[in-house]
Structure 1
Amino acid sequence: MAGDETESGGEDVWTDVDSDVYEEIVGGIEESEGVERVENKYDLSLNHGGSKEVDVAVWTNANHHHIFIIIECKFWQNRVPQSVIAETISNVANSTADKGVVVAKSGFQSGAIEQAEGAGVDLYTLREIEDGDLEGRIQTVNTRVEFKSPEFEIEDTGVSPVDSDLSDDEIREDVEQSGHLTLDELDVYDRDRTPTGETVQDLARKLSTGKQSGKYTDNFDDKLIVLNHTFYSLDYLEYIVRSDSERTSSFNGSRDVNDLYDLVRINTIREQELALGDIAEDGTHDPIEFVSIDDALAAFTGQTDEEEDEH
């Protein structure tokens, strides 16, 4: 991109954003929509030879068909001209891409919109939220989150070695070596060292059934567990039983949309169709989506981290 075609934008939103970060934001938005794969600065092979670097490449599925999308991102001060759309159309026609998309910070010239609409190229304006974007829309998000604690919770378990010849160091090592196991993975055995078919968690669940809320301790003299391949006596279980009212807690919160989102992504062609009355004005055709820069970059970073792990 030419240096005189980019700008740093607003003092708050665009402070740390340049053309590369803008492309990452676009890639993160795509990734958060559940596509198969996203790649930035993709080397697109052209049918007539050579290649073209595209800003974002997306692979996704729709109606059981694989779709390959190329996206050009324009972090420009000026509106995108028709020539950019023509180049995108050419790149789609001369490659394996199924669709072309152009995303711009400052919108598109009218000729660019007309050409894109006729060629099936999607256009999005991705810019800072303005006051007018919120008119007629919910501006405050109220949140109520309910937390449900488990019906019972094991607080402590008492164990002792069956083999009295074990030293304190050996016992400590057995416990440490088995520390990765959860109580739902510790099998219970009877005194004959035969599996009972239940875990420690299952045992506590059975003991807690039908009891009033409160704290309980049950002692045993006929149950064993295995720690680090060594049998230990399960001496007691301490657990808490909770009533329905004790199990439920909630959190209520309220946040302004401006605190949650930084940008709007506008489907430019759909916005024009609404303005011209070519489509009905309802929620299914709303051309505006709100975007969090942090969330988009987190989605992009998470996707690239997964790719690095695979390699």
Structure 2
Amino acid sequence: MDAELYSQSIQYEQLTQSIYQAILAKEGVNNIDVEHNVSLKGKSGVEHQIDVLWKFKQAGVEHKVLIECKNYASSLTLEKVRNFFAVLHDIGNSNGLMVTKTGYQSGAKDFAEHYGIGLKILRKPIEQDWENRIKDIHLNIVARSVSSSEETPLTAELLIKPNSPEQEERLEALNQAGKLSIPSGADICLLDQNGEVSTEEMRWFLPRSLDTIDKEEGGPYTQKIALENKYLYVNEGTSEQELVEIMGIVATYYVESYSEEVISHGDEVVELILKDFSSNDVEHVQRR
């Protein structure tokens, strides 16, 4: 085997190691390390090189999962499976898996199934893998938001709720005299009953409170937003300053929309798949 093929084989073994480590983690088994290139002595006294291995104990008995990796472009023969079976038999208390890129010849498949050796395919997905599965996803995304411009302004009317007849009289007198000053502007924040800020600035708070999803582009639309325990200072900074409750906001607004088509190609998302050769079930997907 030349240096390049050897390097590719080692990379394939390490890839198998990382994928089975990920599978165990996904299944909630986090206390088992999947090892690469391990030497185990069999009952015969012969040392066997194992591509990928993990161990576990069950009822006080140690069991091992041994994986033979074959980075081959052709189907594995019966001889390869029989050789691996001999290793499993010599080591004992072992479950065996074989992993390759292309497949297994019929004799190899029959022999492996009879002796309980799992046959897996690990490779990049091919067109047949997408049969009865969704490969490409086309999404037409339509986003609607509140528009605010000179032609389509967002306006709001604050609904004041006096907390007593006396406050109502004072506010009415100021209003009649043209001296009632109510804060306005995109940067104001609503307050709590102690005069502390309790919302973000109106430029953000108001658009997020308005319904746009079920509206067609255009307008104007009108919506009343009910509020609880929200306040503002009127005539702020003067001797007539006082905190008044805001029971709601009546907003008039326009809606603008934006659409975009997003296409997700499966072969650009999925890098590798691990399949069971006998059932053809996909057991793991590695995404890019």
Corresponding residue for 2:132? Answer: 136
Contact 1:37–1:60 (Cα < 8 Å) also in 2: no
Corresponding residue for 2:106? Answer: 110
Structure 1 unaligned blocks of 5 or more = 9-16, 144-207, 216-241, 247-251, 272-286, 295-311
Q: Distance in 2 between matches of 1:116 and 1:85?
A: 7
Corresponding residue for 2:276? Answer: 267
Corresponding residue for 2:200? Answer: 214
Q: Distance in 1 between matches of 2:102 and 2:134?
A: 25
Question: Which amino acid counterpart does residue 78 of structure 2 have in structure 1?
Answer: Q
Partner secondary structure for residue 262 of structure 1: strand
Q: Distance in 1 between matches of 2:74 and 2:123?
A: 13
TM-superposition CA deviations, 1:56-81 (whole Å, max 9, x none): 11235789986420000001122111
Larger CA deviation: 61-70 vs 258-267: 61-70
1:59–1:257 CA distance, 2 compared to 1 (3 A): farther
The offset of 1:55, in angstroms, is: 0.6
Match of 1:288 among 276, 282, 285: 282
Question: Which amino acid counterpart does residue 31 of structure 1 have in structure 2?
Answer: Q
Q: Given the alignment of the two structures, is residue 91 of structure 1 paired with residue 77 of structure 2, yes or no?
A: no
| TM-score (ref. length: structure 1) | 0.47
The offset of 1:214, in angstroms, is: 3.4
Match of 1:123 among 96, 101, 119: 119
1:70–1:263 CA distance, 2 compared to 1 (3 A): same
Matches of residues 121-200 of structure 1 in structure 2 within 5 Å? 121-140=117-136
| TM-score (ref. length: structure 2) | 0.51
The offset of 1:261, in angstroms, is: 1.4
1:64–1:129 CA distance, 2 compared to 1 (3 A): farther
Corresponding residue for 1:79? Answer: 75
Q: Distance in 2 between matches of 1:101 and 1:56?
A: 9
Matches of residues 42-81 of structure 1 in structure 2 within 5 Å? 42-60=38-56, 67-81=63-77
1:60–1:142 CA distance, 2 compared to 1 (3 A): farther
The offset of 1:32, in angstroms, is: 0.5
1:128–1:66 CA distance, 2 compared to 1 (3 A): same
Q: Which has the larger radius of gyration?
A: 2
Partner secondary structure for residue 34 of structure 2: strand
Q: Given the alignment of the two structures, is residue 30 of structure 1 paired with residue 26 of structure 2, yes or no?
A: no
TM-superposition CA deviations, 1:105-133 (whole Å, max 9, x none): 12111110000000000001222211121
Match of 2:8 among 9, 13, 18: 18
Q: Distance in 2 between matches of 1:38 and 1:141?
A: 35
1:293–1:55 CA distance, 2 compared to 1 (3 A): farther
1:61–1:288 CA distance, 2 compared to 1 (3 A): farther
Question: Which amino acid counterpart does residue 104 of structure 1 have in structure 2?
Answer: T
1:76–1:141 CA distance, 2 compared to 1 (3 A): same
- Between the aligned residues of both structures, percent identity stands at 21
Contact 2:269–2:287 (Cα < 8 Å) also in 1: no
The offset of 1:264, in angstroms, is: 2.7
Question: Which amino acid counterpart does residue 17 of structure 2 have in structure 1?
Answer: G
Question: Which amino acid counterpart does residue 108 of structure 2 have in structure 1?
Answer: A
Partner secondary structure for residue 214 of structure 1: coil
1:55–1:213 CA distance, 2 compared to 1 (3 A): same
Higher relative helix content: 1
Structure 2 unaligned blocks of 5 or more = 140-193, 210-260
Q: Distance in 2 between matches of 1:26 and 1:57?
A: 10
Question: Which amino acid counterpart does residue 271 of structure 2 have in structure 1?
Answer: D
Alignment: residue pair count: 179
The offset of 1:289, in angstroms, is: 4.2
Contact 2:40–2:47 (Cα < 8 Å) also in 1: yes
Q: Distance in 1 between matches of 2:138 and 2:53?
A: 36
1:260–1:213 CA distance, 2 compared to 1 (3 A): same
Partner secondary structure for residue 265 of structure 1: strand
